[in-house]
Amino acid sequence: MEDLVILNGNDNVAIATKKLANGDTVTVNDKQLKLVSSISAGSKVALQAIAAGKDVIKLGQVIGRSTADIAAGQLVDESNLENAADAKPLPVDDDLSQYVSQQTFMGYRRKNGKVGIRNDLFIVATVGCITPLMDVMVQQFKAAHPDNGSFDDIVLLKHPYGCSQLGEDFEQTRQILCDAALHPNAGGVLLFGLGCENNQMSGMKETIEKMAGIDPERMKFLVAQDVKDEFATAQQMLEELNTAAANDHREPVPLSELKVGLQSVQPDALAPLTANRLLAHLANVINANGGSTVLTGLPELAAAQDDLVSRSADSSVAEKVNHVFDHIRDYYDEFDQELVKKPSDKELAEGITTAKEVALNAIQLAGSAPISDALLYGHKVTTPGLNLLEAPNNDLIDASAAAAADCQMVVVSTGVATPYASFVPSVKVATNSELAAKKQRWFDYDGGQALSESFDKAAKDFVDYIIKIASGEETSNEKAGLHGLAIFKIGVTE
């Protein structure tokens, strides 16, 4: 394992992979570098002398400006580095030709042309007060079909909303539920309502019809107050859906049909060296082959808004990027909150120094493709390539937003153990091997392999693993039966 890793050829700092002592001599870029500071794992080391007032570059972009002269081999942290909000974005190498591949995955091609990586049965509640009844429906269905019948899994989309909501807040809830009902991972959908909620089933039907049309063989609607026995009626509808999905099968599908959500959850010091790098490689492979990736968590990205604008494919996309940031910034301003996420005390202790560095670490997940589109919350991906999606940097809300946008899976780089999952497969990539070993039931992949073996091999193995997931191999959350849905609530309750 290398002592220091340079993340981009233009960087003037490297990242320590382990604790290093003052006076140690390390090899980096086939050159000897003598350390003049003690360095903790994940912290930044100057590769050359950096004069006071000069840019410090990591991941190929300016993360801040030096406040004092920094010697080669010296620790770079808050004592000698400050944020540089006026720093101009540097060019990004967006040539992805080396990532072009002929790989395929085994997916379910739907009647509307979309592709799912699962053939799940979705039961979607229109309102929170009826969600306990959904468990009984599943128990009754599984009594007749212990193996889930024609479906890979049964996914309950529970939430506490759908009633006593007003205006845009209400519309947002309905939109996400309709997005979920139309997800290509669903081989059958039962929408289940109570009858007196303000999220009326008639409105759900109207929205779905406008979005994509209703396939009556694959989508059923049940309002509990309209029938004598909601459980008996539900079982009849579920059996009809089960019959309709009986002949569904996987077939080879090109990577151009893959849509993947990219997420960072509480990264630790090693994340930029391990899990983030693996996700970046995956993003480059997907985007190079005509697929789609989705980056969320705007507060974490906000300090690098200019960098994202500069990566836009054209001026119209740049306008969309700014609009998405302006939209969520207005929401934060309404509650007197600052959008830009600054380093926490934990992050400062682990070597993350500036808000720009926080943002660039998160952007790292997306690889080097230009941004092809920027979407407001609740909108679906329609443009191949890297998409920016409005969401508030909440683990489950962001994962649900990516899933609602038609991502067939969400891949998460995380430095903490967390069991949450969305209603699509959620691949948890641990930033270090110790964490992956500690919580094997919650993690899917040990990102520490990016340091324990050659990165090229680790990156190839990771892409192969993601293709296995897309082709049906279960994630940890699927094995445990963990699924979730969180909706971004933006208004008052009457």
* 107-133 mean pLDDT: 97
**Inter-residue contact 116 to 390 (CB < 8 Å):** no
Using alpha carbons, select from 379, 376, 372, 374 the residue that is nearest to residue 405.
379
Would you say 423 and 401 are in contact if contact means Cβ atoms under 8 Å apart?
Answer: no
Averaged pLDDT, 74-100:
95
pLDDT at 134: 97
Neighbours of 43 (CB within 10 A): 23
Find residue 124's DSSP bridge partners: 157, 191
- The pLDDT of residue 489: 93
Say how many C-beta atoms besides its own lie within 10 A of residue 198's C-beta: 16
Q: What's the pLDDT score for residue 30?
A: 86
Query: What's the mean pLDDT in 34-45?
Result: 96
DSSP state, residue 95: -
Under CATH, to which class is 120-244 assigned?
Answer: alpha beta
Sheet of 186-193: strand order equals: 154-157, 120-125, 186-193, 219-223
pLDDT, residue 492, reads 82
pLDDT in tens, 165-204: 999 999 999 999 999 999 999 999 999 999 999 999 999 9
CATH number for the domain whose boundaries are 4-82: 2.30.130.110
Residue whose entry in the numeric block shows the structure tokens 């697929």: 291
pLDDT tens digits for 374-433?
A: 999 999 999 999 999 999 999 999 999 999 999 999 999 999 999 999 999 999 999 999
Which are the contacts of 130, defined by CB distance < 8 A and separation ≥ 6? 192, 193, 194, 224
Could you report the per-residue pLDDT of 436-468, keeping only the tens digit for each? 999 999 999 999 999 999 999 999 999 999 999
Distance CA 212, CA 9 (A): 46
Looking at residue 1, its pLDDT comes to: 80
pLDDT digits (tens, 9 = 90+) for 244-295: 999 999 999 999 999 999 999 999 989 999 999 999 999 999 999 999 999 9
Check pLDDT > 80 for residue 494: no
The DSSP code sequence of 362-378 is HHGGGTTPPEEEEE-TT
The answer to whether 333 and 57 have CB atoms below 8 angstroms apart is no
Per-domain residue ranges of the chain = 4-82, 120-244, 256-479
Residue 257 gets which letter from DSSP? G
- Residue 85: predicted pLDDT: 87
Mean pLDDT of the 106-135 span: 97
Asked if pLDDT for residue 471 goes beyond 80, the answer is yes
Res 350: pLDDT = 87
Residue with tokens 């920016």: 388
pTM of the model: 0.96
User: How far lies 409's CA from each of 105, 176, 258, 274, in Å?
Assistant: 13, 16, 9, 20
Mean pLDDT of 132-145: 97
What tokens appear for 88 in the block?
A: 């101009």
* Residue percentage of the chain with pLDDT more than 90: 96
